[in-house]
Amino acid sequence: MEVQLCVLILFAWSITIVPVAAGRRGCGGTYTAARGIIHTPNFPDPFKVPIDCEWVIDAQHESSPNTSIVVYLTQLFVFEGLTFTEYQLYGSDYKINPRIVHKVNETNISGVRWVQTYQSFLVIQLKLPSIDSAHLRVLDRFLEVYGFNITYEITAGHARPDSCTMMDCGFTGVCYDHYTKFECECFPGYSGPTCSDGPKSFCHSDGVATCENGATCL
C-alpha cells in the first residue's frame, strides 16, 4: 500500500513539472543575484527561431536608493528585436511604469556599451522571426557567432567605464567580463589591449597605418 502511494506521488510531480518547463520556452528566466551572465540558448551556436524570450533582472531586494542594474553588452551580435525595458514593478499579473531604455538597431549596435536603469526591474526581451539578424561572420577563420552573451550587475555605484564590446576588441577579438576587469581576448596573430596589432591591413594601436599603397588605416 505504501509503495503504491509513493508511485502516485512521483507521477503527480512529473505532471506538474512539465508545463512549467514548457512555459519558459527553454530560454529566459529571472535573475536576482548581484551579477551574472545572460546569453541566447546554445551561444555562440544558432538558437531555434522564431524566438520570444524574456530575461528579468530583479533588484527589488536592494534597498539603497542608488542601486542600479547595469547590463554590459560585451558579446552582442543581434541587430534587431532586442529590447531593454525598465519597470518599477514586474510580476505575472502586474507590470508597473514600463519604459524602454534601449532598443538595439543596426546603427546603434556599435555605439552603446552598457544599459543602465535605477528602477527595480530590467527586462531584456528577444523577439525574432528568423536568425538572419542575430548572426555575425567575420571571414571564415575568425568568428561565426549567433545571438548574445552579456553580463549584468546590480550595483550601488557607477557602471564600470572600462567595459568593452566587439567594436573595442577590433572585430577580431572577444570581450570578456571578469567582473574585476574587462578584457579583449584576441584571435591568433593579433595582440594589444584592443587586438589591433596584427597582420597588414589592420591598424596598429600606436596609430601608425600599416595599409599598403599609401592607404589610410581607419
Ligand X SMILES: *[C@@H]1O[C@H](CO)[C@@H](O)[C@H](O)[C@H]1NC(C)=O
CB closer to ligand X, 37 vs 215: 37
CB closer to ligand X, 147 vs 198: 147
**What is the sign, positive or negative, of the torsion defined by CA atoms of 5, 8, 12, 14?**
positive
Least distance CB 149 / ligand X (angstroms): 4
* Per CB under 6 A, 105 contacts ligand X: yes
Of how many residues is the chain composed? 218
Site for ligand X in 42-61 (CB under 6 A): 43-44
Instruction: Look up residue 217 and give its DSSP letter.
Output: P
Which residue reads 543575484 in cell numbers?
33
* Per CB under 6 A, 142 contacts ligand X: no
DSSP sequence for 145-169: EESEEEEEEEESS---TT---TTTT
Q: Give the Cα separation of 154 and 151 in Å (integer).
A: 11
* Per CB under 6 A, 66 contacts ligand X: yes
Please choose, out of 21-29, 46-54, 108-116, 122-130, the segment that lies near ligand X by the rule CB under 6 A: 108-116
Per the CB < 8 A criterion, the answer to whether 33 and 155 are in contact is no
* Per CB under 6 A, 156 contacts ligand X: yes
* Per CB under 6 A, 112 contacts ligand X: yes
Instruction: Look up residue 40 and give its DSSP letter.
Output: -
* Per CB under 6 A, 111 contacts ligand X: yes
Least distance CB 127 / ligand X (angstroms): 16
DSSP sequence for 18-32: HHHHHHTTTS-EEE-
**Binding residue for ligand X (CB under 6 A) from 40, 68, 119, 151?**
151
Residues that bind ligand X (CB under 6 A): 37, 43-44, 64-66, 74, 105, 107-108, 111-112, 149, 151, 156, 176-177
